[in-house]
A and B are shown apart, each in its own frame.
Chain A
Amino acid sequence: MIFLYAFLVGGAICLIGQLLLDIFKWTPAHLVVIFVVLGAVLDVFGLYDRLIDFAGAGASVPITSFGHSLLHGAMSEGHQHGYLGIAIGIFKLTSAGITSAILFGFLVALLFKPKG
């Protein structure tokens, strides 16, 4: 069942993004930035965790989960070390994504020729 929910929720988040692009003429950069901030805002009230419980990858694959993970990492260290912990923990959960994006992005750019 989680597979169906992942498809539906992930698709719905992308559909909302497409409508914002088409109707309000947002650029992709603005869309992605606002989705990240939205993910962080939804995490404040614990709403995004519920969405991940419900839809699995349907909620953790869209970019909104990036904002959610940033705040989650910041809060987990923040509860232990106070305000300094926010700076310590902010990349705790997103580290895998950012590291792999830099590493693979760099290697692919090195090995491949630009197309188009």
Chain B
Amino acid sequence: MLNDPKNYSENVKAFQPRIPYVKNSLKAFLVGGLICLFGQFLETFYIHFFHFTKQSAGNPTVATLILIATLMTGFGIYDKLARFAGAGSIVPVTGFANTITSAALEHKSEGIVLGIATNLFSLAGAVIVFGVVSAAVLGIIRLFIEKAF
């Protein structure tokens, strides 16, 4: 029986759109790779013209990428890119900037303080919370081990 609740998830499978795994993966690979390639050009630029070291050049690179991504979000371009590239636009740091800007824009009608400022981190906050918690815990463990031996 098609309406049998026990087998619902099995029965409904035939009617769900099939996910084009290979196509999606290739798109994500291509766009994600191109964003990183562009980041590498920026990094090389900062190393050669502003005398950053290989380690410290990541900072201005990330800041520049974030500026570009927030502007693209403002113009509505980044959302079109995200629909095409999936994880290719979510995983790079530009995706972080996109969630911050789009969450703030979405709630703009509620005012500058209650709308924009309180919602800036409504999506991106999870990244910072889990990043800080995991880094703090791992840092304490590593320091403890280094001191013990």
Give A contacts to B, CB under 8 Å. 2-3, 6-15, 17-23, 28-29, 31-33, 35-37, 40-41, 43-44, 52, 55-58, 60-67, 69-71, 74-75, 78-79, 82-83, 86-87, 90, 93, 96-102, 104-116
Contact = CB atoms under 8 A, between A and B. Distances in A.
Nearest to A39: B131
A10 B120 contact: no
Contact of B90 (A9, A32, A93): A32
Interface residues of B, number: 79
Interface of B: 19, 21, 24-37, 39-44, 54, 58-63, 65-67, 70-71, 73-76, 79, 85-88, 90-97, 100-101, 104-106, 108-109, 112, 116-117, 120, 123-124, 126-128, 130-132, 134-136, 138-143
Contacts of B117: 106
A111 B74 contact: yes
Given A18-B86, A99-B63, 17 more contacts: A10-B37, A12-B33, A15-B26, A19-B25, A36-B134, A56-B43, A57-B42, A60-B62, A70-B131, A74-B136, A75-B142, A82-B143, A86-B140, A101-B66, A105-B101, A109-B120, A114-B108
